[in-house]
């Protein structure tokens, strides 16, 4: 096998798509969609109670951090392209947990 053949094999392995954890991916995707749908509904509801502008902004920050968390987690549990991509998605997933914690303090 030549060096060129080995490179082709390695390139083929990089682009293999596998779902890592199906149910975690599905539940986190549902959470992301629910947060996307719920955000404008809850903003309109808060506006009907004459919430302050600062309250609306802090609520938006919280909801956006929730969308980020569930989106990152759904991506991490869905895609297994390569070990490098898996490591990057894992770091984004774990970082988004801290972003949600910060968003919940707003």
17 φ, ψ (degrees, to nearest 5)? -105, 125
CA-to-CA distance for 104 and 95, rounded, in angstroms?
14
> What percent of the chain is predicted at pLDDT more than 70?
83
Over 70: is that where the pLDDT of 66 sits? Answer: yes
pLDDT of residue 6: 47
Hey, CA dihedral for 96, 101, 104, 105, is it positive or negative? negative
User: What's the whole-model pTM score?
Assistant: 0.78
For residue range 2-41, list pLDDT tens digits in order: 444 444 455 555 555 667 888 999 999 999 999 999 999 9
């Amino acid at each position: 096998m030549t060096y060129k053949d080995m490179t082709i094999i390695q390139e083929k392995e990089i682009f293999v798509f596998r779902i890592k954890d199906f149910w975690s991916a599905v539940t986190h995707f549902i959470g992301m969609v629910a947060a996307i749908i719920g955000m404008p509904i809850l903003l309109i509801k808060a506006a009907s109670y004459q919430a302050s502008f600062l309250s609306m902004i802090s609520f938006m920050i919280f909801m956006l951090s929730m969308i980020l968390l569930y989106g990152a987690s759904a991506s991490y549990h869905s895609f297994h392209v390569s070990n490098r991509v898996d490591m990057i998605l894992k770091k984004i997933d774990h970082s988004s947990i801290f972003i949600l914690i910060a968003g919940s303090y707003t």
